[in-house]
């Protein structure tokens, strides 16, 4: 199965910091990648689809980039409500795999 | 309000069976493919299964193939997951989600709150 490797698995950051999370696919997935945010005890929430398209209602401080095998999620200025775990997911092939997650903590 | 609501989670013994339900409201359920994703305690997300809008296009993760069956009843706006031969490693919160396909775009843009399945003796 196609594998997604996220890095780092966790990071410490402060409010106002620029945060970058990477996701590497084991094969070319074009732009078939989404990013989700998940807070404890809650369902995931879609942030980015097609690698770089911002979901409606998501703050513009979130952005995505990349294509092929290397992708990035960037939070331009971390806000208190952004402390959470972030997952990438590919839609190129079944099974629809997720990355292992990146926990953003203070 | 647009929402998905799962039910049916419970404590079940190894080897047992359980059926999860996911009721949709506030959107045209029959127009969308649907999926199940699970999350073991303290772990990441694992895609489980997908079903097309009309009931075809079914696919499963290797870890549940042959034991789980996904289905839907569009007259009731409800998605199901029949889980048989349950194992301890199936213990997880199970989420349903709406699988949006717009042109070449694919994403899960509406999720339920999840239902907990615990497999233990």
Q: Which one, of A86, A90, A69, lies nearest residue A21 by Cα?
A: A86
The residues of B whose Cβ lies within 8 A of any Cβ of A are: 35, 37, 44-47, 50, 59, 61-62, 95, 97, 104-109, 111-114
Write the residue in A1, A46, A99 that is nearest to B108 by C-beta.
Answer: A46
| A8, pLDDT greater than 90 | yes
| Dist CA B23 CA B19 (whole Å) | 13
Instruction: List, for residues A19-44, the tens digit of each pLDDT value.
Output: 999 999 999 999 999 999 999 999 99
State which residues of chain B have pLDDT below 50. none
Q: Do A46 and B95 touch (CB under 8 A)?
A: no
Whose structure tokens read 């775009």? Answer: B105
Q: Does residue A38 sit at the B interface (CB-CB below 8 Å)?
A: yes
């Amino acid at each position: 199965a196609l594998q997604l490797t996220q890095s780092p698995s966790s990071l410490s950051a402060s409010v106002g910091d620029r945060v970058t999370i990477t996701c590497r696919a084991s094969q070319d997935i074009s732009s078939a990648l989404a990013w989700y945010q998940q807070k404890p005890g809650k369902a995931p929430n879609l942030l980015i689809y097609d690698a770089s398209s911002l979901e409606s209602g998501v703050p513009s401080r979130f952005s995505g980039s990349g294509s092929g095998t290397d992708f990035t999620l960037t939070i331009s200025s971390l806000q208190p409500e952004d402390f959470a775990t972030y997952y990438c997911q590919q839609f190129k092939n079944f099974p629809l795999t997720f990355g292992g997650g990146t926990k953003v903590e203070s | 309000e647009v929402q998905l609501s799962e039910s049916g989670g419970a404590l079940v013994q190894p080897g047992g069976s359980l059926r999860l339900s996911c009721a949709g409201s506030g959107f045209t359920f029959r127009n969308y493919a649907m999926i199940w994703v699970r999350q073991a305690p303290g772990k990441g997300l694992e895609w489980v299964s997908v079903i097309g809008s009309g009931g075809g296009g079914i696919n499963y993760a290797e870890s549940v193939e042959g034991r789980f069956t996904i289905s839907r009843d569009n007259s009731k706006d409800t998605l199901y997951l029949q889980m048989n031969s349950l194992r301890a490693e199936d213990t997880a919160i199970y989420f349903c989600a709406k699988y949006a396909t717009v042109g070449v775009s694919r994403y899960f843009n509406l999720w339920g709150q999840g239902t907990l399945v615990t497999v233990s003796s």
